[in-house]
Amino acid sequence: MVQGEETADRITARGKSVRQYLLSHLREYGLLFALIAIMVFFQAVTDGTLLRAINITNLLLQNSYIVIMALGMLVVIVSGNIDLSVGSVMGFIGALAAVMIVNLEQPVFVTVPICLVAGALIGAAQGYWIAYWKIPSFIVTLAGMLVFRGLSLWLLEGQSVGPFPQSFQVIANGFVPDILPAGIGETLAGFIGVRRINVLALAVGIAAAGGLVWIGLRQRARNRAYGIVDEPRSFFIARNAIVAAAIIFITYKLSTFRGLPNVLLTMGVLAVIYAFLTSNTVIGRRIYALGGNQKAAKLSGIKTERLTFLAFVNMGLLAAAAGLVFAARLNTATPKAGFALELDVIAAVFIGGASMSGGVGTIVGAVVGAFLMGVLNNGMSIMGIGIDYQQMIKGLVLLAAVVFDVYNKQKQG
Amino acid sequence: MTTLLEMREITKAFPGVRALDSVSIQVRRGEIHAICGENGAGKSTLMKVLSGVYPAGSYDGEIIFDGELVAFRDIRDSEDRGIIIIHQELALVPQLSIAENIFLGNERSRHGVVDWRETNSRTEALLAKVGLKEPPTTKVDSIGVGKQQLVEIAKALSKDVKLLILDEPTSALQENDSRRLLDLMLELKAQGVTCIIISHKLGEVRYVADTVTVIRDGTTVSTLETKNGLSEDRIVRDMVGRDMTHRFPEHVRTPGEVLMEVEGWNAWHPEHADRQVIRNVSFTVRRGEVVGVAGLMGSGRTELAMSIFGRSYGRNISGTVRISGEPVDVSTVDRAIDAGISYVTEDRKSLGLVLDETIRFNTTLANLRDVSAGGVLNKNEETRVAEKYRDALAIRTPSVFQKTVNLSGGNQQKVVLAKWLNTTPEVLILDEPTRGIDVGAKYEIYTIINTLAAEGKGVVMISSEMPELIGMCDRIYVMSEGSLVGELSAADATQERIMSLIVNEQGVET
């Protein structure tokens, strides 16, 4: 064998693989790039308001319940279904919490578990018809959307109920206290020249960024060992650098305000759990198979009915969690809470690259999709763009994302 | 006879592949011309060039039709000249009537208002030509696939067809419907219609064709006349480019003890509760034995297999299944898998594979237990397993991370086989394991089956192709209308005997 030839082959192979890699992962990079581009744009046109510490905190709080529900919706959509009832369910759970805490004076530690169980039961009730009676999820959850909207109204008797005690409000509006010695924060703040620094927040950010890079490196090393043609090194470095820098930057900003919001922690932990669940577990794999080809999945010994049922139970549970966060954030439960929110959640999942026909989509995509919509909302509000234009722009963004998907797929096929 | 169509030195390249490399073909007026070749040989590409799917300019070479040099821009262009293709997948709208379908896009109308009287009367005349007695207002989804095929031909006849191209017309048809279609082709020929037929079934080709053109790897290999007697082996040799006097690999089998016994198996139709689909079926499979199940489509072969495999078909299922003498629970798919049974489905695209996923994903799907611990997948182990089967079954792919949708039919079938071999079954039920794949890949699948038998597994092979059953099996059960109507040993089995068993059972005189 001629040594030179082999090397030349490898180099052309690598050049080709860079292009192929970019082409086949255009969607993922495109999404990340779009998010960055939108942030840079709004940062510029709002004179830096977008990335102010207080606004970043707001952005996270405002979108937390969307992100939480998007995690469940991703699972539902990957399984080949849809859930139109999540907005109503979220509102209903908020109403339930308000009635229990404010009207019936139940303690928070009793109310929260009951609300979560109620959410799971609602999911089970809908999932039962979808999974075992094969009634299209669109119909069942459309019915659920009306039913739970009505139930919220009935429960609240058409009134807003609130306010909540402090112990409930912290779910959404609380911050993780800085448990590290105050001296470090003060020194650091003085050194950088800001008023204060929440060292814990910054430390968590650095740890998270470091963890992500570490996981990425380990994965890459393993793939290498198996000789898998993978992400070109330059892409790997650039992607990780951008993501790590973004995480550290955001936590730094947060640390100069009030620190880590409780909700960010909840959201982050949930996102990591669901990302792992969907990509690395047997049940996750089966959900993709179910959505990709239900008949083949069933004939491969997968209990497709039970899996569909569980996807909806899970969705109900997460909608309940989102309902608690939403009620706590508004500090009141209103009959209108969660109105049309299901559409934002579904849009986030599709912008994140999920396929209407099932079997395709990622948690990371859904989370980024949710934040992309969130930044759009937030940025346009700061600019003072009317709600009319906001709706139109969001609609066009959704359409563009899906058109991009379809175009991409056609080009590849 | 004069030449109706001549395609000269057609070359069509796609990025990276030369699909056609100066292919030439001559079709005489009034003949039936068969085009044979393995999957991927370039038959469909050639027909797409001819019909204008690939417009003039996107290929090199000339097409001379009816004495004129032609350059079609699209399908409409070629249809206007009288070239009509009937594709493998029927292009009828099932919810519309026969008449509506026949005149779809070509409605008989006055000022935009459909003239139903003319539509229906002309449809009736056309249906008479193809031997259909259905009223023109019959909905297409209420007639069988065989009759739908005839409606397609009637539709072609409504357009003054000069050259009728049939792409694998009988692939979805039963034996008697196929025969009817082929006879119709001969009749049309007598009326002066020129036909091109693309087919894998060489028996049919010999039955109808006057001339056979064999294409391999994008080039014309040979043009053969059938009138002086043309053997199938000759066509096969040209198709695969090697001598295949043996279409089935050599095998010597010594079946061992009884491995699987099915006794008194009954199943009813899932929707029509009064229709018994499987009637008191009992059969056995020995270790190291390949057992065939012959029968027409709709005879209950697939239903038998699926009802045994985790009650995937039918209701009120009764009967017992024993593996090595022990009764086993096969009431759900995962229990059947645990009992050591695998069922390789008939339709690999809709029932076998998750097409949008990788080879690795599909290979481990039926046995995720072995590649996971505590419900967490070990993806490296999955890769190892997938690569093991890629090598063992010679799945042709750059990597196991290739999506299965991008594989050829033969390689897809191997991935489905890999999925089931990975459940380490004792008994494999293979439903039409070689349907729609080319001769070379068939040979490889046969070799895999022989290896499995040699390893002491029991194989049940369901197939519509009788030569395949006769060539591969040790014993053949014959099924008709839900019952087993006969059992033949390999030595006794001939196509005639199998057919006569089926036909006698149906009470039709031969």
How far off is chain B from A226, nearest CA to CA, in Å? 8
Q: Which helix (H) or strand (E) holds A230?
A: none
Domain boundary among A240, A259, A278: A259
Contact B278, B290 (CB under 8 A): no
What is the Cα–Cα distance from A350 to A391, expressed in whole angstroms? 17
| B203 CB-contact burial (10 Å; exposed 0-12 / middle 13-18 / buried 19+) | middle
Same domain, A75 and A164: yes
What is the Cα–Cα distance from B494 to B496, expressed in whole angstroms? 5
pLDDT score of B257: 92
Same domain, A169 and A192: no
Q: Which two tokens stand for residue B395?
A: 């799945």
pLDDT score of A3: 41
What is the Cα–Cα distance from A318 to A69, expressed in whole angstroms? 6
Contact A258, B355 (CB under 8 A): no
Domain boundary among A259, A283, A315: A259
Among residues B62, B1, B9, the alpha carbon closest in space to that of B33 is found at: B1
For residue B17, pLDDT beyond 70: no
- Poorest-pLDDT segment among A182-196, A264-278, B320-334, B400-414: A182-196
Looking at the domain assignment, is residue A318 inside a domain? yes
Same domain, A330 and A347: yes
Sorted by where each starts, the structural domains of chain B and their CATH numbers stand as 3-240 (3.40.50.300), 258-340+426-505 (3.40.50.300), 357-424 (no CATH)
Same domain, A160 and A290: yes
For residue A257, pLDDT beyond 80: yes
pLDDT band at B309; cut points 50, 70, 90: very high
Mean residue pLDDT across chain B: 87
What backbone torsions phi and psi does residue B53 show, to the nearest 5 degrees? -60, -45
Same domain, A72 and A154: yes
Across the range A321-325, mean pLDDT stands at 96
Chain-centroid distance, C-alpha B357: 23
What is the Cα–Cα distance from B501 to B507, expressed in whole angstroms? 10
What backbone torsions phi and psi does residue A88 show, to the nearest 5 degrees? -65, -40
Q: Where are the beta strands (DSSP E) in B169-210?
A: 194-198
Query: In whole angstroms, how large is the CA radius of gyration of chain A?
Result: 23
Q: Which of A225, A282, A298 sits opposite B368 (nearest CB)?
A: A282
Query: Which position has the higher pLDDT, B176 or A142?
Result: A142
How far off is chain B from A295, nearest CA to CA, in Å? 5
Across the range B259-263, mean pLDDT stands at 94
Looking at the domain assignment, is residue A192 inside a domain? yes
Chain-centroid distance, C-alpha A143: 25
Domain boundary among A237, A259, A281: A259
Chain A residues closer than 8 Å to B380 by CB: 222, 225-226
- Here the CATH number for the domain that contains residue A60 is 1.10.3470
> Would you call B312 and A296 a contact, using CB atoms and an 8 Å cutoff?
no
> Would you call B375 and A283 a contact, using CB atoms and an 8 Å cutoff?
yes
Q: Is the dihedral of CA B242, B246, B247, B249 positive or negative?
A: negative
For residue A66, pLDDT beyond 70: yes
pLDDT score of B397: 81
Range among B230-239, B360-369, B429-438 rated most confident? B360-369
Chain B residues closer than 8 Å to A280 by CB: 376-377, 379
Same domain, A38 and A167: yes
Across the range B23-27, mean pLDDT stands at 91
What is the Cα–Cα distance from A323 to B2, expressed in whole angstroms? 80
- Poorest-pLDDT segment among A91-95, B127-131, B358-362: B127-131
For residue A123, pLDDT beyond 90: yes
Same domain, A353 and A208: no
Q: What percent of chain B has pLDDT over 90?
A: 38
- Poorest-pLDDT segment among A297-311, A315-329, B109-123, B442-456: B109-123
Q: Which two tokens stand for residue B223?
A: 């043009």
Across the range B138-159, mean pLDDT stands at 85
Residue A40 β-bridge partners:
none
Looking at the domain assignment, is residue A7 inside a domain? no
Q: Each residue of A172-183: pLDDT tens digit?
A: 888 888 777 777
Looking at the domain assignment, is residue A141 inside a domain? yes
Across the range B452-465, mean pLDDT stands at 92
For residue B373, give the 3-state DSSP assignment. Answer: strand
Q: Which two tokens stand for residue B503?
A: 């036909």
> Would you call B353 and A229 a contact, using CB atoms and an 8 Å cutoff?
no
> Would you call B357 and A292 a contact, using CB atoms and an 8 Å cutoff?
yes
Same domain, A273 and A238: no
Q: Which two tokens stand for residue B344?
A: 């390789």
Same domain, A382 and A362: yes
Amino acid present at A77 = I
pLDDT band at A113; cut points 50, 70, 90: very high
For residue A14, pLDDT beyond 70: no
Across the range A376-383, mean pLDDT stands at 91
Q: Which of A280, A299, A412 to mutate to test the interface with B (most CBs of B within 10 A)?
A: A299
* CB < 8 Å from A in window 378-397 of B: 379-380, 383
What is the Cα–Cα distance from A258 to A174, expressed in whole angstroms? 9
What is the Cα–Cα distance from B321 to B426, expressed in whole angstroms? 13
Torsion (CA) B168, B171, B175, B180 in degrees, nearest 10: -40
Name the closest residue on chain A to residue B332, using Cα atoms.
A301
Query: Which position has the higher pLDDT, B200 or A78?
Result: A78
Range among A76-85, A338-347, B117-126, B487-496 rated most confident? A76-85
Q: Does B368 touch chain A (CB under 8 A)?
A: yes
Same domain, A145 and A226: no
Chain A residues closer than 8 Å to B357 by CB: 288-289, 292, 359
Across the range A10-35, mean pLDDT stands at 68
Q: Does B76 touch chain A (CB under 8 A)?
A: no
Q: Where are the beta strands (DSSP E) in B88-210?
A: 109-110, 113-114, 163-167, 194-198
| B445 CB-contact burial (10 Å; exposed 0-12 / middle 13-18 / buried 19+) | buried
Among residues B250, B267, B166, B252, the alpha carbon closest in space to that of B209 is found at: B166
Instruction: For residue B356, give the DSSP letter.
Output: T
Q: In what order do the strands lie in the sheet with B83-86?
A: B83-86, B163-167, B194-198, B32-36, B211-216, B219-225
What is the Cα–Cα distance from A140 to A127, expressed in whole angstroms? 8
Q: What percent of chain A has pLDDT over 70?
A: 93
What is the Cα–Cα distance from B28 to B33, expressed in whole angstroms? 8
Q: At what angle do helices A3-24 and A233-255 cross, to 10 degrees?
A: 40
Q: Each residue of B352-410: pLDDT tens digit?
A: 999 989 999 999 999 999 999 999 999 889 999 999 999 999 888 878 888 898 888 88
Looking at the domain assignment, is residue A295 inside a domain? yes
Same domain, A128 and A186: no
For residue A117, pLDDT beyond 70: yes
Sequence-distant (6+) residues with CB within 8 A of B247 are B233, B236, B439, B442, B443, B467, B471
Contact A348, A74 (CB under 8 A): no
Among residues B291, B402, B426, the alpha carbon closest in space to that of B414 is found at: B402
- Poorest-pLDDT segment among A28-32, A188-192, B325-329, B464-468: A188-192
Q: Does B361 touch chain A (CB under 8 A)?
A: yes
Same domain, A315 and A407: yes
Residue A287's domain comprises 26-174+261-412
Q: Each residue of A206-246: pLDDT tens digit?
A: 999 999 999 888 888 887 776 665 678 888 888 889 889 99
Across the range B445-450, mean pLDDT stands at 93
pLDDT score of A9: 43
User: If you count DSSP H runs as helices and E runs as strands, how many of each does chain B have, helices first?
Assistant: 16, 24
Name the closest residue on chain B to residue A225, using Cα atoms.
B380
Q: Does B265 touch chain A (CB under 8 A)?
A: no
pLDDT band at B252; cut points 50, 70, 90: confident
Number of domains chain A contains: 2
